[in-house]
């Protein structure tokens, strides 16, 4: 394991106060705090290496390009992709899924064809497909969950048909914390000749990712949820699929040759990276990956799973508590309600005690409908959280409950 006190020193924001109370930051599923090394790396690049990448022959441009492409290689290693050509930089998971939805549907799907998602998906893995349904007449189907918040994989094949062209599924639910068996899902889908996209926004910060072992065709994640900067993310795609798909956007960088009659496109991965990339953010993301690896992904996973178990145990001692998501394989997220207290009221009053949690539907309204509620309070954990912070959360919930 690691020295949690030493780790917390890397995140100065954790030492601040809110309303005169020590900050207890438990909204990590929305975004994580950033270690000093990430901020320092980005500041250093802006101060000393700031120039547009891939386009200049001068020294600064070459140096910035080297850092940008080194970041691509760092990501490749982090998720064990076969080639750097399979790593596409995006603005985040949302843009990555929109990219696949737009490009895949353009030449791989026709009216009446189906994409299968699940009841636990974030809106980012629902709305892009619904937009394609409106444009192209495709059909969005959804795989149900059971009362513990697990996918019912026994019915998986029943939801497939000759018209199913893609399965798009979350690796970890941002509400339930359920860790889906994506390897098994990929095996079942591939047995029917169907490719799979995995939404890894909630898994990349918490566990070792090996896209070749999973076998997925696409994998998406965000930098800001894994201690990196906002506005940068990654789409992994198998080379064979990326070669088949048309560009998502047009402009600079992604072209080979432009004439009035015709445009030809750049090789992978640049075909999907129109315009100036956030090359400083990619360097920040690479630094965040280095930080994660220095702490140890397996260490982080063990620490966060212990926090999750402890939080679940302590919350269950509170009268009227309802916990949503009790899968055997669960990680880093606990969503709950207490009695008839509205989630917004609970979150607002916890905030006055210095406790930052998320309230609402968490961009998962179809899941809320399945659970029969309008929203939850969500506590989500990171490598810097402690059991003592969970004790503060539990005491805060008890205090708010007594007020009602």
- Reported as a single tens digit per residue, the pLDDT across 281-316 is 999 999 999 999 999 999 999 999 999 999 999 999
Q: Percentage of the chain with pLDDT > 70?
A: 100
Catalytic residue among 192, 216, 311, 363: 363
When pLDDT is cut at 50, 70 and 90, the band that residue 55 belongs to is: confident
Kindly state the tokens that stand for 187: 């095996």
Average pLDDT over residues 19-34: 98
Average pLDDT over residues 214-241: 98
pLDDT value of position 1: 81
Q: Which tens digit of pLDDT belongs to each residue from 115-136?
A: 999 999 999 999 999 999 999 9
192 tagged catalytic = no
Domain residue spans in the chain?
A: 4-30+296-403, 40-293
Q: Is the dihedral of CA 325, 326, 330, 331 positive or negative?
A: positive
Residue 260 has pLDDT above 90, yes or no: yes
Q: Is the peptide bond before 269 cis (omega within 30 degrees of 0)?
A: yes
Return left, alpha or beta for 195; rule: phi > 0 is left, psi -120 to 50 is alpha, else beta. Answer: beta
What is the number of H-type helices and E-type strands within the chain?
13, 17
CATH topology of domain 4-30+296-403: 3.90.1150
Residue 48 has pLDDT above 90, yes or no: yes
Average pLDDT over residues 243-250: 96
* Beta bridge partner(s), residue 167: 116, 196
Kindly state the tokens that stand for 94: 């949302």
Q: Tell me, what DSSP letter sits at residue 143?
A: E
Evaluate if pTM is beyond 0.95. yes
Average pLDDT over residues 178-204: 98
The CATH code of the domain at 40-293 is 3.40.640.10
């Amino acid at each position: 394991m690691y020295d949690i006190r030493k780790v917390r020193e890397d995140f100065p924001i954790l030492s601040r106060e809110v309303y005169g109370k020590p900050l207890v930051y438990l909204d990590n599923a929305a975004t994580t705090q950033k270690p000093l090394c990430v901020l320092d790396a980005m500041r250093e690049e802006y101060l000393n290496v700031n120039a547009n990448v891939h386009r200049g022959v001068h020294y600064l441009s070459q140096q910035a390009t080297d850092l940008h492409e080194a970041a691509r290689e760092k990501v490749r290693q982090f998720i064990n992709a076969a080639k750097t050509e399979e790593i596409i930089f995006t603005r985040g998971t949302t843009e990555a899924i929109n990219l696949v939805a737009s490009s895949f549907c353009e030449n791989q799907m026709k009216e009446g064809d189906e994409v299968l998602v699940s009841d636990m998906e974030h809106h980012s893995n629902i709305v892009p497909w619904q937009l394609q349904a409106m444009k192209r007449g495709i059909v969005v189907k959804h795989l149900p969950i059971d009362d513990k918040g697990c996918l019912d994989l026994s019915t998986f094949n029943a939801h497939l048909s000759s018209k199913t062209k893609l399965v798009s599924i979350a690796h970890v639910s941002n509400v339930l914390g359920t860790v889906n068996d994506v390897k098994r899902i990929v095996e079942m889908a591939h047995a029917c000749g169907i490719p799979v996209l995995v939404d890894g926004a909630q898994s990349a910060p918490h566990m070792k990712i090996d896209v070749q072992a999973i076998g997925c065709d696409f994998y998406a994640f965000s930098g800001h949820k894994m201690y990196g900067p906002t506005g940068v993310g990654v789409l992994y795609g198998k080379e064979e699929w990326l070669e088949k798909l048309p560009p998502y956007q047009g402009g600079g960088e992604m072209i080979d040759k432009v004439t009035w009659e015709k445009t030809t496109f750049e090789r992978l991965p640049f075909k999907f990276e129109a315009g100036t990339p956030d090359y400083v953010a990619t360097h920040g993301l690479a630094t965040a990956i280095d930080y994660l690896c220095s702490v140890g992904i397996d260490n982080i996973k063990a620490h966060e799973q212990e926090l999750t178990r402890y939080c679940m145990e302590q919350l269950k001692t509170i009268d009227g508590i309802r916990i949503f998501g009790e899968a055997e394989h669960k990680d880093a997220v606990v969503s709950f309600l207490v009695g008839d207290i509205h989630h917004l009221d609970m979150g607002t009053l916890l905030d006055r005690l210095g406790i930052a949690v998320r309230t609402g539907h968490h961009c998962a309204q179809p899941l809320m409908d399945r659970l029969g509620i309008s929203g939850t309070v969500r506590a989500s954990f990171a490598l810097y959280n402690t059991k003592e912070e969970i004790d503060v959360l539990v005491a805060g919930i008890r205090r708010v409950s007594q007020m009602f």
